[in-house]
Amino acid sequence: MSKPAFEVFYPERNKSCVVFASPHSGRDYPWSLLRTTVLDDHVIRSSEDAYVDLLFDCATQFGATFLKAGAPRAYVDLNRSADELDPALIEGVRRQSHNPRIASGLGVIPRVVANGRAIYRGKLSMIEAQNRLNTCWHPYHKMLQSLLVDAVQQHGQAVLIDCHSMPHEAVQSVVRRGAKRPEVVLGDRFGAAASGEFVDRIEAAFTAAGFVVSRNAPFAGAYVTQAYGRPNRGQHAVQIEIDRALYMDEKTIKPSRHFVDVQRRLRSVIAEIALIGQERMPLAAE
């Protein structure tokens, strides 16, 4: 990577224990990837959470910190464990117990992008895989952990908002007949990653801004929420998935005419979440 693996944006005055993060909106595609992939410059972006960083970057205006990835998801997936290496892609990796993410090609070094389209013709060396982890994955997570530790030290608790987008058709299987289609899915690993009171208030903020919200279906949270959500220690993590069709054209991967309106509505949500982060939430029962 010739460019930084991530960027951190700090508020002028750190008033909130909330850290917003966007691990999948990176779009600094290294030449080493572009020269080896069988995909064109457009298709390789299909699994990217395009423009999510632009939707949430106002967080600093409300006293919260914002961390965004530079490396794209097709290069290294920051929402996977560093040991989720795919034996079908990485030379020398032994097959382990069944992992559905790895089996589908979505390990920490992805084998496919959206709709199962293969990124490469052959395999990658273990040296290449370790290089991506060392230059992107480990620095990002070292910084993320540092930001959360700082929040706990300054505010007595930390709240991580892990920001993502989802394909429009992703929630089709969970929509009940007669029910409204969810536009936002909150994932707290069914209560294991964050205080229920905190998640209630996040949902209320989205609802007040006119979004249809559901929880944990079909996305309950992946590696980041699992690794960093420790509510009994005052460290909470909530994953947010926003329907891409609300603000972009999924085929062209370009902002739609609704982008500015969605950005405006989210601004009020982000302000409310940051405000919640200025209060001390009770620790969960042991």
User: For 131, phi and psi rounded to 5 degrees?
Assistant: -65, -40
pLDDT given at position 284: 46
Alpha-helix residue ranges (DSSP H) falling in the chain = 31-34, 52-56, 100-103, 126-132, 138-155, 196-208, 223-228, 259-276
Residue 241 has pLDDT above 90, yes or no: yes
Q: Do the Cβ atoms of 68 and 25 come closer than 8 Å?
A: yes
Residues 22, 26: Cα–Cα separation, whole Å: 8
Instruction: Tell me the average pLDDT of the chain.
Output: 93
98: pLDDT confidence band, cut at 50, 70 and 90?
A: confident
Percent of the chain past pLDDT 70, that is, above it, reads 97
Rounded to the nearest angstrom, the gap between the alpha carbon of residue 84 and the centroid of all alpha carbons in its chain is 17
What would the pLDDT profile of 136-190 be if each residue is shown by its tens digit? 999 999 999 999 999 999 999 999 999 999 999 988 777 777 778 999 999 999 9
Q: Span 79-86, mean pLDDT?
A: 96
Q: Judge whether 65 and 29 are in contact, CB under 8 Å.
A: no
Does domain 6-276 correspond to CATH entry 3.40.630.40? yes
- Does residue 194 carry a pLDDT above 70? yes
Could you report the per-residue pLDDT of 26-55, keeping only the tens digit for each? 999 999 999 999 999 999 999 999 999 999
Q: What is the pLDDT of residue 255?
A: 97
The pLDDT value recorded for residue 210 is 97
Kindly report the backbone phi and psi dihedral angles of residue 28, in degrees, each rounded to the nearest multiple of 5, phi listed first.
-95, 85
* Cβ within 8 Å of residue 234, ≥6 positions away: 152, 156, 157, 158, 281, 283
- Do residues 21 and 161 lie in contact, with contact meaning Cβ atoms separated by under 8 Å? yes
Cα separations in angstroms, 106 against 76, 250, 266: 10, 20, 29
pLDDT classification of 285: cutoffs 50, 70, 90? very low
Q: Give the domain ranges of the chain.
A: 6-276
pLDDT tens-digit readout, 99-112: 899 999 999 999 99
CB within 8 Å of 176: residues ≥ 6 apart: none
**Separation between Cα atoms, residue 220 and residue 240, nearest integer Å:** 9
Arithmetic mean of pLDDT, 276-285: 63
The pLDDT of residue 215 is above 80: yes
d(CA 149, CA 155): 10
Q: What is the pLDDT of residue 227?
A: 97
